[in-house]
Amino acid sequence: MNENVKKCPIIANHIKVALVGQPNVGKSMLINSVSNAHLHVGNFSGVTVDKTEVLFDYKHYHFTVVDLPGTYAFTDYTIEERVTRDYLCAEDYDIIINVVDSTNLEKNLQLTAELFTMSKKMVIALNMSDEAEKEGIEINAEYMSELLNIPCVKVSAAQKTGIEELINTVVEVHEKPKPEPKLVFSEPVEEEIENIVSYLQKHKFQATNSYRNIAINLLKENKRTYAKLHDDPIWTELQPILIEASKHIELHHDTDDIKEAFAEEYASFNRGIVAEVVKVKKPLREEKTLTEKIDSVLIHPLYGIPIFLFLMWGLFQLTFVLGAVPMDWIDAFFGWFGDAVGATITNDDMRSLVVDGLIAGVGAVILFTPNIIILFIGIALLESTGYMSRVAFLLDGFFHKFGLHGQSFIPLVTGFGCSIPAYMSARILKNDRDRLLTLFIISFMSCGARLPVYVLFAGAFFSESIAGNVLFAIYITGAMLGLIAAKVLKLTAFKGADEPFVMEMPKYRLPSVKLIWHTVLSKTLMYLKKAGTFIAGATVLIWFLSNYPHNTELEKNYEVKIEQAHSQEEKNKLANELASKNLEQSYLGRIGAFSEPLFRPLGLDWKMAVALEAGLAAKEVVVSTLGVLYALGDDVSETTYSLKDAISKNISFASAVAFIVIIMVYLPCFAASVVFTREAGGIKYFFYLLAFTSITAYVLAFLAYHITLLLGY
Partner 1 sequence: MKRLIDCEKGEKVKVVKLNANYDLKQRLISFGVMKDAQIQVLEHAPRKKTIEVKVGKMRIALRAEEAELIEVK
Ligand X SMILES: Nc1nc2c(ncn2[C@@H]2O[C@H](COP(=O)(O)OP(=O)(O)OP(=O)(O)O)[C@@H](O)[C@H]2O)c(=O)[nH]1
Residue ranges that bind partner 1, judged by CB under 8 A: 72-73, 75, 77, 103-104, 106-107, 110, 255, 257, 259-260, 263-264, 267, 291-292, 295-296, 299-302, 304-305, 389, 392-394, 396-397, 400, 406, 430, 498, 500-505, 507
As a whole number of angstroms, the distance between CA 657 and CA 703 comes to 10
As a whole number of angstroms, the distance between CA 375 and CA 455 comes to 12
Does residue 28 bind Mg ion (CB under 5 A)? yes
Taking the complex as a whole, the smallest distance from the CB of residue 79 to ligand X amounts, in Å, to: 13
- Pairing type for strands 14-21 and 95-101 reads parallel
Taking the complex as a whole, the smallest distance from the CB of residue 266 to partner 1 amounts, in Å, to: 10
Taking the complex as a whole, the smallest distance from the CB of residue 23 to partner 1 amounts, in Å, to: 11
Which residues have a Cβ under 8 Å from the Cβ of 677 and sit 6 or more positions away?
A: 683, 685, 686
The residue (of 300 and 529) whose beta carbon lies closer to partner 1 is 300
Residue among 38, 25, 106 nearest 70 (CA): 25
Taking the complex as a whole, the smallest distance from the CB of residue 428 to ligand X amounts, in Å, to: 9
Q: Which of partner 1, ligand X, Mg ion, none has residue 504 at its interface (CB below 5 to 8 Å by kind)?
A: partner 1
The residue (of 78 and 655) whose beta carbon lies closer to Mg ion is 78
The residue (of 101 and 634) whose beta carbon lies closer to partner 1 is 101
The residue (of 74 and 676) whose beta carbon lies closer to partner 1 is 74
The residue (of 50 and 180) whose beta carbon lies closer to Mg ion is 50
Taking the complex as a whole, the smallest distance from the CB of residue 169 to ligand X amounts, in Å, to: 17
Where would I find the beta strands (DSSP E) of 295-395? none
| Span of 45-53, 81-89, 195-203, 513-521 interacting with Mg ion by CB under 5 A | 45-53
Residue among 353, 369, 368 nearest 628 (CA): 353
Taking the complex as a whole, the smallest distance from the CB of residue 672 to Mg ion amounts, in Å, to: 22
What string of H, E and C letters represents the secondary structure of 233-254? Answer: CCHHHHHHHHHHHHHHHHHHHC
C-alpha distance from residue 123 to each of 18, 89, 149, 330 (Å)? 10, 18, 10, 52
The residue (of 24 and 539) whose beta carbon lies closer to ligand X is 24
Q: Which of Mg ion, ligand X, partner 1, none has residue 157 at its interface (CB below 5 to 8 Å by kind)?
A: ligand X
Q: Which of ligand X, Mg ion, partner 1, none has residue 25 at its interface (CB below 5 to 8 Å by kind)?
A: ligand X
The residue (of 110 and 652) whose beta carbon lies closer to partner 1 is 110
Question: Which residues would be at the binding site for ligand X (CB under 6 A)?
Answer: 21, 23-29, 41-43, 45-48, 69-70, 127-128, 130-131, 156-158, 384, 509
What string of H, E and C letters represents the secondary structure of 172-191? Answer: HHHHCCCCCCCCCCCHHHHH
Q: Which residue is nearest to ligand X (CB)?
A: 70
Instruction: Tell me how far the alpha carbon of residue 390 is from its chain's centroid.
Output: 18
**3-state secondary structure (DSSP) of residue 627:** helix
Angle value at C-alpha 24, between 375 and 99, nearest 5 degrees: 140
Give how many residues touch Mg ion by CB under 5 A.
4
- Window 46-75: contact mask with Mg ion (x via CB under 5 A): -xx---------------------------
Taking the complex as a whole, the smallest distance from the CB of residue 296 to partner 1 amounts, in Å, to: 7
As a whole number of angstroms, the distance between CA 257 and CA 261 comes to 6
Does residue 586 bind Mg ion (CB under 5 A)? no
The residue (of 522 and 585) whose beta carbon lies closer to ligand X is 522
As a whole number of angstroms, the distance between CA 35 and CA 394 comes to 37
Angle value at C-alpha 188, between 186 and 189, nearest 5 degrees: 65
First to last CA, the chain: 82
Determine contact, residues 515/384, Cβ cutoff 8 Å. Answer: yes
The residue (of 47 and 420) whose beta carbon lies closer to ligand X is 47
Taking the complex as a whole, the smallest distance from the CB of residue 40 to ligand X amounts, in Å, to: 7
Taking the complex as a whole, the smallest distance from the CB of residue 45 to Mg ion amounts, in Å, to: 10
Residue among 366, 401, 376 nearest 539 (CA): 366
